[in-house]
Amino acid sequence: MFKRLWYNSRARSVMMQVLIACLFFGTLAWLVWNAHYNLTQRGIATGFGYLSDAARFPISESLLAYRPTDSYARAFVVGLVNTLYISVLVIVASTVLGFMLALARRSRHPLVNGIATFYLEITRNTPLVVQLLFWYSLVTINLPSPRQALNPLPGVFLSIRGLFFPSVQIEGYWLAMGWVILAALLVWVGLRPLRRRRPTLPLGRVFFVGALLACVLAWQWGDVTLTSHSPQLRGLNFVGGTALTPEFTALLLGLTLYSSVFSGEIIRGGIDAVAPGQWEAAQSLGLRPWTTLRCVVVPQSLRVIVPPMTSQYLSIVKNTTLALAVGYPDLSFVITTTINQTGQAIEGLAILMGVYLCISLSVSLFMNLYNRRILRTERK
């Protein structure tokens, strides 16, 4: 009977799958038992109850209010917001810089093309952590003290403590934003029937003008006021205004310059994938090179650019974990500190893996929806 089942291809495949599943779940059960046994032997409690305890460690910079007496859960949220903040900034900045790099790489000018190629080869073949440490040492060692701070522009100071520049405080912000969102929705709903009657209507420009008018009205009706605060030297540091710490600056520069070379090559490949006949057809119609690139080539190249750019954006989010090398308090920094204090390594790593999994899936979902919209527009 066993011989008959073994020579049956379907039965043999089922047996192999059952065997592999048993090995997988058996290994998983052994790992769980081994971890539980070792934790019990060392007197380390398991579970997520420690999240409500006081963190008892400071976070150097955060967008949300935080004190050492806050809970570990609050510290995790602060670290997550810092991670999302630096990720969004790097994604936007690297995409813009990558587009410029792609145009420079396609340039026929030998000097422009040579500089872009040299920058690309140096950056792409140097480890990211080395670049982060280079920028961090550059902004922490070679800059002057606050009393001898560089003052390139009025109200702007650059020193070893970071970059300080004037800030603008907006009062009545949320009320104004409510008016803007409501007016934008009304403009959008009102333009949809008009677009069906006139398909050639430039809906984007009309919506931009309507949104701009809504902002002006919200400014008046929302009683919005602006207050400027300039940095002032007090003792050994500046107070007031907005400050970019050396850790944040080094991380932003390093990740942006490193990621831009990969984004630039993706964009360049997408532009080169467009048939040369499209350039020639646009030139025959009298379009200028920039208009041809913006209105003809780039829209067609998006179907090639978006899929690999999704992977690039995911890599940027994951590379933010190297913020630990320069001391920027992102989520991995906070969780590492928590593990050192509580010993809850499994729970901390599980939270870290779960958060990055959710972020990656969200980025992939958004980019896939955008890609489907591009393909659907091309089919029309």
Residue 175: per-residue pLDDT: 55
Question: How many CA within 13 A on the CB side of residue 15?
Answer: 11
Q: Where are the domains of the chain?
A: 1-43, 72-124+254-375, 173-222
Does the pLDDT value for residue 214 go beyond 70? no
Residue 237: per-residue pLDDT: 78
CA distance 290 to 282: 11
Q: pLDDT for 297-351, tens place per residue?
A: 888 888 889 999 999 999 999 999 998 888 888 899 999 999 888 878 888 888 9
Does the pLDDT value for residue 208 go beyond 80? no
Q: Residue 22: pLDDT band by 50, 70, 90 thresholds?
A: very high
Residue 284: per-residue pLDDT: 84
Does the pLDDT value for residue 198 go beyond 60? no
Does the pLDDT value for residue 251 go beyond 80? yes
**In the numeric block, which tokens belong to residue 318?**
């994951």
By three-state DSSP, how is residue 234 classified? Answer: strand
Residue 357: per-residue pLDDT: 92
Does the pLDDT value for residue 32 go beyond 70? yes
Average model confidence (pLDDT) across the chain: 82
Residue 216: per-residue pLDDT: 67
DSSP 317-369: HHHGGGGGGTT---HHHHHHHHHHHH--HHHHHHHHHHHHHHHHHHHHHHHHH
Residue 375: per-residue pLDDT: 76
Q: Residue 131: pLDDT band by 50, 70, 90 thresholds?
A: very high
Residue 177: per-residue pLDDT: 61
Partners of residue 237 on adjacent β-strands: 234
Q: Identify which has the larger pLDDT, 123 or 233.
A: 123
Does the pLDDT value for residue 201 go beyond 70? no
Does the pLDDT value for residue 204 go beyond 90? no
pLDDT cut 90: percent of the chain above it:
29
Does the pLDDT value for residue 17 go beyond 70? yes
Partners of residue 368 on adjacent β-strands: none
CA distance 171 to 58: 29
CA distance 352 to 321: 10
- 33-49 exposure pattern, b = at least 16 Cβ within 10 A, e = fewer: eeeeeebeeeeeeeeee
- Return the CATH number of 72-124+254-375, one of 3.90.940.20, 2.60.40.10, 3.40.50.620, 1.10.3720.10: 1.10.3720.10
Instruction: Give the residue-averaged pLDDT of 216-245.
Output: 71
Residue 215: per-residue pLDDT: 65
Are the beta carbons of 79 and 63 closer than 8 angstroms? no
Does the pLDDT value for residue 62 go beyond 70? yes
- Exposed/middle/buried for 147, CB within 10 Å: 0-12, 13-18, 19+? exposed
CA distance 377 to 199: 14
pLDDT cut 70: percent of the chain above it:
81
Q: Find all residues with CB under 8 Å of 253, minimum gap 6, and list them.
A: 135
